Structure formats: structure tokens, C-alpha cells
Amino acid sequence: MADAFYALGRGLLGAFHPRMLLLTLMALSAAIAVWFFAVWQAIDPLLSWVHGWVMTDGQVPSSVTFASDLFGPWVKSMIVPLIVFFLLWPLVASTAVIVASVTVMPFVISHVARGSYPQLQRRGGSAFFASLWQAVKASAVFVFGWVLTLPLWLVPGVALILPFIWTAYLLVAVMSFDCLTEHASRDEYKRLYDQHSSGAWVLGIACAVLSVIPPFFILVPVISALAFTHYYLALLERQRESDRIIGPGGGNGHGDATIWEHASV
């Protein structure tokens, strides 16, 4: 756990490096360009569809009336926009992670490896399409799981937990794969992923929480990329040093050039 919190701290500090701030601007611009067109085309039909789905014969459902009596009249006016937000958010989040995987991670890995782990040998390889495919698969599971578990949000307290769990899952599934593709062999990746996934989930939950806190939500793609890269490259360096001293635990072989076979969702 200490490794995860240390990596998170380095991610938070590193996100304010001028090069990382420029990278944040690039990723944000790419995401806005994608979603501006999509929302512009779809928001009105989606609002109309949700309004027709929520209302019954033009009348406010009894559940909404009950919620209005319980929480205040604002519920009636906000119920449709809230439902639209909850439907769109997984698409927005998954798009942001895919954009980060393609545009942010390669620069972050190069920046971190050159500055903090210059002696760390690269035993993987360039795996652009493998990383993209991993991000798409994880995003599909994320969107499907989010929609499938929406009814559970009616259970008191669950709505405060589930969004962070699903967002953390997406970050762990994508970032853990991306940050090791260039440096780790297949076996090294498998060992690190199997032995240190709990720390990765700590990072995922922490970054998921930051994603709803202004102004950190703007920096989350870069913060998460930096944190996961520091976390796994430090562990990889330590693992190789241990293998050198006491002998490899099955993870010192070079293996193939990529770790596509070990992509996990």
C-alpha cells in the first residue's frame, strides 16, 4: 500500500510539470473535440427519449413524486437531466481513458522512464494496437457493467460507491497494461499484475475520487498515467534487482516482444 500512495504522490506532483500540463491540454482538447460533436448531435433526442421513458401518459410517476416530497421539488425538474448524465457518464469516462491511453501514456512512460528509471531495460516492445484493444475491451466492460448495475443505485448508499468502483476498474485494467508494455516481458508483467493488483486498485480508487474534485478532474488522465507508471516501473526495477540477487522467480526471461496475450479485463 505504501508503494501505491508514494506513486500517487509522485503523480500529483508530476502532473504540474510544464510538459505534463501541455499533455493535459492536448488530451482535454481531443476529448472535447470528440464529445462536442457527439453531444451536439444526440443531446436533444436523448433528453426527449428519457423524458418519455420517465413520464407515464405525461404524468410524473409516483416514485418521482415520492422523491420530490422527500428531497424537495427540485427533484422533478432535475430527474431527466440526472438520468441523462448517468447514462452518458460511462461513455464520457471510457472515451477519456481511451484518449489517455493513446495520447497520454506513451509520453508519460517515456518521461517517467527517462527521468526516474534510466537504467531500466526495455524487455517488452511497442504495442500500440494491443494497448488500444485493451482500452476498448475494458471500456466495453465498464459501460456494460455501469448500465447493468444502475438499478442498484436505488439502494441507499450504493450510488456513493459504485461509480468509484467502476471507474477504478477501468483505470486499473487500462493503465496497468499500458505502463508495462514497453519495459516488462510477458512473465514479468504477469508476476507484477498478480502480486500487486491490490496497490493498483488503491491507485484506481484514489484517481476515481480525484475525477470528481475540481480542479483535479482535469488533470486525472495525466495524474493516473504518472501514478500507475511510477508504481509499476518501481516494482519492476525492484523485482529485477531481487531476481539478480536471489535468482529469478520465473520473470527474468525476455519472452516475446509484446505482452498482448496477458491483456486482462
Instruction: Please give the pLDDT value at position 7.
Output: 96
pLDDT for residue 202: 96
Higher pLDDT, 51 or 249: 51
Q: Cα(5)–Cα(11) distance, rounded to whole angstroms?
A: 10
* Interacting residues of 219 by C-beta distance below 8 A, sequence separation 6+: 15, 24, 210
Which of 104-108, 124-128, 253-257 has the largest mean confidence? 104-108
pTM score, two decimals? 0.80
Average pLDDT over residues 226-234: 96
- pLDDT of 151 > 60? The answer is yes
CA 24 to chain centre: 15
Question: What pLDDT was estimated at residue 262?
Answer: 45
Q: How confident is the model at residue 42 (pLDDT cuts 50, 70, 90)?
A: low
- Are 168 and 93 in contact by the 8 Å Cβ rule? The answer is no
What pLDDT is recorded for position 126?
67
Q: Which residue has the higher pLDDT, 74 or 47?
A: 47
| DSSP bridge partners of 56 | 59
Give the pLDDT of residue 79. Answer: 67
Confidence of residue 171 (pLDDT cuts 50, 70, 90): very high
Calculate helix-pair angle for 186-195, 216-246, nearest 10 degrees. Answer: 110
- Residues in Cβ contact with 114 at an 8 Å cutoff, skipping those fewer than 6 apart: none
Grid coordinates representing 107 are: 509520453
What does the pLDDT look like over 52-98, one tens digit per residue? 766 554 555 555 555 556 665 555 566 667 777 777 777 778 888 88
Residue 256: pLDDT band (50, 70, 90) is: very low
Taking the CA atoms of the chain, what radius of gyration do you get in angstroms? Answer: 21
Question: How distant, in Å, are the alpha carbons of 17, 92, 95, 218, 236 from that of 21?
Answer: 6, 21, 20, 10, 27
pLDDT score for 68:
59
